[in-house]
Amino acid sequence: MISSATGVPIENILYLGGPNIASEIYNKEYGNARICGAEKWRKPLANFLRQPHFIVWDNSDLVTHEVMGGLKNVYAIGAGMVAALTNESATSKSVYFAHCTSEMIFITHLLTEQPEKLAGPLLADTYVTLLKGRNAWYGQMLAKGELSPDMGDSIKGKGMIQGVSAIGAFYELLSQPSLSVLHPKENKPVAPAELCPILKRLYKILIKRELNPRDILQALRDETMNDPRERIEIGQSHAFYRPSLLGQP
């Protein structure tokens, strides 16, 4: 996505991410990360960044990590909403986690031919972002009524809430008229965004501003919702990959 937007060759782009919170790494709490990109850059930089309390591995799958790096902020906002609205219910948060990770896998398979599995540091990065961070905090504040979407996505003391613009970008990307997938139950072609109910509700709450933050719970309680496994299976079908979305032939 960065390469497509900036024109910078993909071999000159690196992604650094992992299960860590910046303030905690600064305080020398143990963490780890991956640096992804071309081997000539990532390997020496991984060695350079490695510290006793901050282990850095290298990985070649730039696109998967880039996509997941954006999506984790999207779903962290929803996670914050769910946590606040359910009084930190472990059950509700785990149901949300199951559905949001299935949407993340589904979307990643649209953008990457053979994405790395959502496991290890990639999964842990998602987990810690949903657990703690400015996007999850923002979702909590929205649900509590202490912030509103009208206040924008740049919050004093927190900075830019990256997930807000990412919600708009991913939803609109997955709603393009040229894209369609077969709905598993209705047996008719629909836009991929229609199979991502959490993303769709976040879009209506934060971008269109048609719904209240409380409506995020309906995405979890919809009796017609498909098993997350079905969404993942659709995403894993080879025919689902759309390289043109990232400007690739």
Q: Determine whether 93 is an active site residue.
A: no
As given in the structure block, the two tokens for residue 182 are 């077969």
Dist. CA 193–CA 200, nearest whole Å: 7
Residue 54 CB neighbour total at 10 angstroms: 16
CB neighbours (10 Å) of residue 104?
Answer: 27
74 and 173 Cβ atoms separated by less than 8 Å: no
Please report where in the chains the tokens 């949903």 appear, as a residue: 130
Sheet of 15-17: strand order equals 15-17, 31-36, 54-59
CA-based nearest residue to 109, from 53, 28, 174: 174
Rounding to the nearest 10 degrees, give the CA dihedral for residues 215, 171, 208, 147.
Answer: 60
Beta bridge partners of 35: 16, 58
**Three-class DSSP labels, 111-158:** HCCCCCCCCHHHHHHHHHHHHCCHHHHHHHHHHHCCCCHHHCCEECCC
List 72, 93, 144, 204, catalytic entry: 72
Strands (E), 64-117: none
Residue that the structure tokens 């098993």 belong to: 227
Among left, alpha and beta (phi > 0; psi -120 to 50; other), residue 38 is beta
Which residues are marked as active site?
72
